[in-house]
Chains A and B, each alone.
Chain A
C-alpha cells in the first residue's frame, strides 16, 4: 500500500480520478460521448484536444526543471510560432506564401531558435534561468507582434486553412489529432530519456551539477539541449493553439501558459529543485489542470470565483502530496489510506 501512495504518479492520478468521479455526480452530461461526423464528441474528448498544448509544454518544462532551471518564455514562443505559421498560411510575409509545409517548418525552427537562445544564455553566459528566459518572455510577444504588424491574423479564407485547422482541431480515428501529436512526441522523448545516456546525465545534472561536471558530463551541452527541446515543444503548442482558433492572436495566445506548465510539473510531483523527474506524471498533471478548467465550465461556476476555486483545489492536492503534511495530519490512524482508496 505504502509503495503505491509514495509513487510519484499516484497523487496526480488519484486527483484526476476524484475529479472525474465528482463530475459523474454533479456535472450534467459530463461523461456523455456520442458520435458526430464520424468522430467522438463529448467533454472528455474536448479535454484530450485542449490539453494537448499544455501537455507538450509540460514535457519540455519537466526536462528543463530537471536540470534545476525553469523556462518562463514558453508563452511568448507559443505566440511567435503561431504568428509565423498563420502569417505564412495567410500569405502575409511575402515568402513561402500559402505554403503549408513551410509554415510548419519555419514555425518549428523559430521554436528551436528561441530554445537555443535560452540555452545559450543559461549554459554559456551563465545567467540564472529565470532571468535568462524572462528576456524572451518580455521580448517574444513584441517579436510576434512585429511579425503580424500588431493585428490578429485570421486565416478563415486562406487556401490551406482546412489542412491547418486539422492539426489542432481535426479528428483522426475518431479522436482529436492533437492528442496523437502528444502521444508521438511523448514516445520520442521517453525513448530519448529512458533508452539513451542523456536521461541519466540529465538526472545527475539536476541532482548535483558540480559532481556531474567533475565526472565528465558535458553539463553545458545538456542544458542547451533541454532548453531547445522546451522551445520546440512551445512552437508545436503554438501551432496547435493558433490552428484551433484559425488565427494568431499575439496578445493572448499562450498568455500565462508558462505558469500552467510549471503547475502541471509541480502537480506531477516533480521537485522544482531539479533531479529526479517523471514525464508521465507531468502529463497527468496537465490533464488534471485542463480537466479542472472544463469542469468549472461544465458546472457553471461564476467567473469571479474560478481563480479562487482552482487555487483551493490545487492547494489541497499539494498538501496531500506533501509527506510531512500527511504524516502530521493522519499519523497512526491509518484512516488516510482508506480515504485515498475510496477516492
Chain B
C-alpha cells in the first residue's frame, strides 16, 4: 500500500511538472514548439520570406464516407495547388483539435482551417489565433463563437438543400401528391434545416402535402423500418419519399420493394447528399433525384486561404458548390463520383 502511495505521488509530481512546462510553452509561441502533428516542420522560416501558402487543417477524424471524401479532397487540392498543408486528425475529440490549432499557431501558419467536432468551447483558442494574427476558416460545420473570431465559413446551405429537394419533388409529382418524410437525427442542424427548407418551399405547392414524418436517424436500417410502418399506415396513399440523407432513402427503397411496389416509379424518391450508392440506385431506376451536399471542399477552401493571405476581402459564408443529380443523367454522373 505504501509503495502504491509513493508511486502515485511521484506520478502526480511528474504530471504537474510536465503540465507546467506545457503552459510555459503556450505562453511563448516563439519557443521550439515541436509538439504538434508535424514536429519536423521548421517553425519560424515558414512565416516570412516564403511565398508558399502554409495552411494548418484540423480535421475531425474518420467519421463517415462523406468526411473521408472531404479529407481526400483537402489533401488532394493542397498537392495540386502547391500548398504547404499541415494536416491533423482529431480522432473525434475537441481537445485534440484545440491542441492541433495551438501547434499551428506556434508554427506560424498563414491560415488555420478547422471542421469543429462540436459547436461550443472554441472562444479561447480562436482568440489565441486572432491575437497571433492568423485567420480561422471554419469548414462544413459552424462553431458557436462571435463573428469577429473567424474569417469565413465554408459549407452547405441545408435550408437551400431542403428547398431544392421540394422543387424536385414537385417536378416529379406534377405538383400534386402525398409525401412521407424521413428525418435525420433529432436535433442535428442538417435535419432541422432540411426539414425547414422543404416545409417553406412546400407552401408554394398547395396540392402537395407531407402525410407522415418520422426520424430515421440518418441510417439505412431505421430508414427501412420507418418506411415499412409508413407503407402499412398509409397503404396506396404515398406518392413520394423525401429523405434527409441518401442512406435512409436506400433503406426506404428496400421497404418499398418488399411491399411489392416499384421505388422510383410508383413512389418517387428524393434525397440529399449524393453518395455513390444512391447513384447506383438511380442507374437501376429505383431512385429519382439526389440533391448534392458536397464534401469536396478542398479547392474552395484553399482559394479562400489564398485570398486571406493576400489580404483580400472574403465573404463571411462561402456556400459550397452543389449540384442536383437526376435519374436521367445518373449513368454518366456516376463515373465522376469520388465517394
Contact at B186–A304, with CB atoms within 8 Å? yes
Q: Does A323 contact B (CB under 8 A)?
A: no
Contact at B254–A151, with CB atoms within 8 Å? no
Contact at B220–A247, with CB atoms within 8 Å? yes
Per the 8 Å Cβ criterion, residues 268-316 of B in contact with A are 277, 280-281, 284
Contact pick for B259, options A41, A157, A246, A253, CB 8 Å = A41
Hey, which chain A residues are within 8 Å of B218, CB to CB? 252
Hey, which chain A residues are within 8 Å of B220, CB to CB? 152, 245, 247, 249, 252
Q: In the complex, which residue of chain B has the Cβ closest to the Cβ of A154?
A: B277
Hey, which chain A residues are within 8 Å of B247, CB to CB? 152, 249
Q: Does A306 contact B (CB under 8 A)?
A: yes
In the assembled complex, the CB of B205 is this many whole angstroms from the nearest CB of chain A, namely: 22
In the assembled complex, the CB of A148 is this many whole angstroms from the nearest CB of chain B, namely: 10
Q: Does A37 contact B (CB under 8 A)?
A: yes
Contact at A241–B221, with CB atoms within 8 Å? yes
Contact at B215–A29, with CB atoms within 8 Å? no
Q: Does B64 contact A (CB under 8 A)?
A: yes
Contact pick for B64, options A244, A247, A251, CB 8 Å = A251
Q: Does B226 contact A (CB under 8 A)?
A: yes
Contact at B215–A303, with CB atoms within 8 Å? yes
Contact at B65–A253, with CB atoms within 8 Å? no
Contact at B221–A150, with CB atoms within 8 Å? no
Q: Does A169 contact B (CB under 8 A)?
A: yes
Contact at A303–B277, with CB atoms within 8 Å? no
Instruction: State whether A156 and B277 are in contact (beta carbons under 8 Å apart), knowing that A32-B232, A150-B62 are contacts in the complex.
Output: yes
Per the 8 Å Cβ criterion, residues 223-249 of A in contact with B are 241, 244-247, 249
0 or 1 for each of B25-39: is its CB under 8 Å from A? (1 = yes) = 000000000000000
Contact pick for B232, options A46, A249, A303, A306, CB 8 Å = A46
Give complex CA distance A157, B247 in Å: 16
In the assembled complex, the CB of B182 is this many whole angstroms from the nearest CB of chain A, namely: 10
A interface bracket (residues with beta carbon within 8 Å of B): 35 or more
Q: In the complex, which residue of chain B has the Cβ closest to the Cβ of A290?
A: B225
Hey, which chain B residues are within 8 Å of A37, CB to CB? 260
Instruction: State whether A300 and B233 are in contact (beta carbons under 8 Å apart), knowing that A154-B277, A156-B280, A169-B254 are contacts in the complex.
Output: yes
Contact at A303–B214, with CB atoms within 8 Å? yes
Instruction: State whether A245 and B214 are in contact (beta carbons under 8 Å apart), knowing that A28-B233, A36-B259, A150-B62 are contacts in the complex.
Output: no
0 or 1 for each of A24-43: is its CB under 8 Å from B? (1 = yes) = 00011110100011000111
Give complex CA distance A298, B65 in Å: 32
Q: Does B224 contact A (CB under 8 A)?
A: yes
Listed in ascending order, the chain A residues whose CB lies under 8 Å from chain B are 27-30, 32, 36-37, 41-43, 46, 50, 145, 150-152, 154, 156-157, 169, 241, 244-247, 249, 251-253, 293-294, 297-298, 300, 303-304, 306
Of the A-B pairs whose beta carbons lie under 8 Å apart in the complex, a sample of 5, sorted by A's number, is A36-B260, A43-B232, A249-B219, A294-B225, A303-B186
Listed in ascending order, the chain B residues whose CB lies under 8 Å from chain A are 62-65, 68, 183, 186, 212-215, 217-221, 224-226, 228-230, 232-233, 235, 247, 250-251, 254, 258-260, 277, 280-281, 284
Given contacts A42-B232, A249-B221, A297-B233, 4 further A-B contacts (CB under 8 A): A32-B232, A43-B229, A151-B65, A152-B247
